[in-house]
Amino acid sequence: MIKSIKQQHSMAKFMMKTTANQNVMIFHQAKQQGFHQNVKLANNQNAQLSHLVIGGGSGFLGKQVLKQLLKSHKGAAGDGFTQFQDELSNLSQITIISRNPKETKLALEKELKNLNLEKNSLIQIGVKNWKDDDSVFLFNHQIFDEKETYGRDKKVAAINLSGVSIGKQSWTPKYRKEIFESRTKTTLDLIQYLDSFGESASTFIGTSAVGFYPCTTDGNQTNVYTEDLTTPANNQFGELTNAVEEAIKNTNSNNIKNKIIMRPGVLIGKGGGVLNDMMVPYIGLAIPIVFGNGNQPFSCIHLEDAANMYIHALYQNFNSQNKQVAIYNTVMPELVNFKQFVKCLNSKANPFSFPLIPFPYSIVKTIFGKERAQLLCEGQFVLPARAQQENFQFKYPTLDSMIEQVTSRK
C-alpha cells in the first residue's frame, strides 16, 4: 500500500476499458480542427502548482526536466523555460520517487551542482522511496515542511518517466515482462499516489512513445501521423505503448483533474541516448553506421526541447476544465529519415565526412534480434501538431540546429 505524505488514503481500484478507433489525420487536417489552447482554472481561480512528483527523475530525460524546472524557477541560475515563468515561481517542492533515495540523491547532486540549488531559498528537492514517508533533500536544503507544500490552493502534479530501456538487450520473455511492468506498474502506482493527495491532486503526465504509430522502412512521407490516431500499431511497440496509455486513461482516480500522454521520439542530447551508441567516447567522433536501407523515418527531438514540452504540457493543461486526455507528440517539427540524421552527424562531428557504413536489416536482425532490429531499421513520420497549435517554441526545430548543438564543444 502506498502511503500519502498527507494522510493514509485507501488505494483506488482501477478499471480498464477499450478505446474507439479513429482514422489517421495528417497535420493540415489537425490544424483545421485545432486543439483546446486556453487554460481555465476549475472552481478555484487561485490554485497554484506548488508540489511536483517525478517518477524516473534520475534518468536521461528526467534529469533534463529537473534541470529545466530549476533553471526556469525564479532565483535559480541559467537559461530556462520562460513561457510559464510566473507559474513556475510558485513551485516550492519537487519530489523524486526512487528505489534507492540516497544513491539517487548523490547522483542528482553531482548533475545539478552548477545550478547553485543550495543557495536558492525558494525551492527544495526531496528524494523518497514509495514505502517511506520521509525524504532526503538534495544538498540538505530543506526550507519547508513537506505538508506546507500542498493544500486547498496549493496543488500537486505528477510526471512519470520510468521504464527500462527497450533497446538495451534482446526481448527475452523475462526482459519483455520487465519492459512492460516498468512502465505500466509505475504508471498505476504514481496515479494512485497522486490521487491520495485528495483535493490537492491536479495533473498527471504519463510517458508513451511514437512507437504507438505504425512503423515502416519506407522514406515516402505518405503516412504522417498526428495525435489524432487512437489505434495502436500492430506490433510489440504498439502493444507496449497502448498498455501504458490504457493505464493512464482508465485507472480510476477520483481526485486527479486531468491527464496527459506524451509520445516522445528518439531523444538527442549530450551524454546519453542514441548519441552514446554513435559517438566514440572522449574523442567525440561519430560512427556513420546506416541501419537498414537508411530511408526509415526518424522522428526525434533535442533533449532540452523534450523537457520543455513536458513543462509546457503540464502548465498548459493545469486544472483545465477539458476532461479529455491531452496527447502530445514529443518530436521536432522537421521530418527526416535515418540516413539524413547520420549524414548530418557525420559532417558536423567529424573533421571530414567518413564513408557511410551500411548495416543491412537481415544482419541487424541476426545480431540484435527481431525487436531491436525493428527499432533500428524502421520508424514513423510524426508531427508535433498539438504543441505547434499551442505555439510551443522549439529551441532546436531542425535537424541541422539540433546536431550543431550536440556536437559543439561547449
> Tell me, what's the pLDDT at 119?
62
CA dist 368 and 374 (Å) reads 10
> Tell me, what's the pLDDT at 81?
62
Q: Does residue 45 register a pLDDT over 80?
A: no
Average the pLDDT over 203-218 and give the result.
97
Give all domains of the chain, ordered by start, each with its CATH number.
Answer: 27-47+153-406 (3.40.50.720)
> Tell me, what's the pLDDT at 37?
37
Q: Does residue 384 register a pLDDT over 90?
A: yes
β-bridge partners, 160: 55
Which SS3 state, helix, strand or coil, does residue 260 take?
A: strand
The answer to whether 222 and 167 have CB atoms below 8 angstroms apart is no
- Dihedral angle sign, alpha carbons of residues 327, 328, 334, 337: negative
> Tell me, what's the pLDDT at 144?
84
Cα separations in angstroms, 205 against 7, 177, 259: 23, 23, 6
Which SS3 state, helix, strand or coil, does residue 93 take?
A: strand
Average the pLDDT over 116-123 and give the result.
68
Average the pLDDT over 196-205 and give the result.
94
> Tell me, what's the pLDDT at 35?
42
Q: Does residue 401 register a pLDDT over 60?
A: yes
Q: Mean pLDDT across the chain, nearest whole number?
A: 85
pLDDT confidence tier of residue 5, bands split at 50, 70 and 90: very low
> Tell me, what's the pLDDT at 153?
85
Residue 93: CB atoms within 10 A of its CB come to 25
Average the pLDDT over 228-239 and give the result.
95
Q: Does residue 43 register a pLDDT over 70?
A: no
Of 20-34, 83-97, 190-204, the poorest mean pLDDT is in 20-34
Q: Does residue 40 register a pLDDT over 50?
A: no
Average the pLDDT over 211-226 and give the result.
94
Q: Does residue 27 register a pLDDT over 80?
A: no
CA dist 398 and 400 (Å) reads 5
Give the pairing type, strands 266-269 and 272-273: antiparallel
Shortest CA distance to 158 belongs to which of 5, 385, 386, 39? 5
Contacts of 16 (CB under 8 A, 6+ apart): 246, 247, 250
Average the pLDDT over 193-205 and give the result.
94
Average the pLDDT over 146-151 and give the result.
83
> Tell me, what's the pLDDT at 120?
56
Which SS3 state, helix, strand or coil, does residue 128 take?
A: strand
Q: Which helix (H) or strand (E) holds 385?
A: helix 385-389
> Tell me, what's the pLDDT at 44?
53
pLDDT confidence tier of residue 177, bands split at 50, 70 and 90: very high
> Tell me, what's the pLDDT at 336?
97
Q: End-to-end CA distance of the chain, in Å? A: 46
> Tell me, what's the pLDDT at 175?
94
> Tell me, what's the pLDDT at 82?
65
Q: Does residue 150 register a pLDDT over 90?
A: no
> Tell me, what's the pLDDT at 155?
94
pTM recorded for the entire structure = 0.87
Q: What are phi and psi of 329, to 5 degrees?
A: -75, 110
Q: Which helix (H) or strand (E) holds 60?
A: helix 60-72
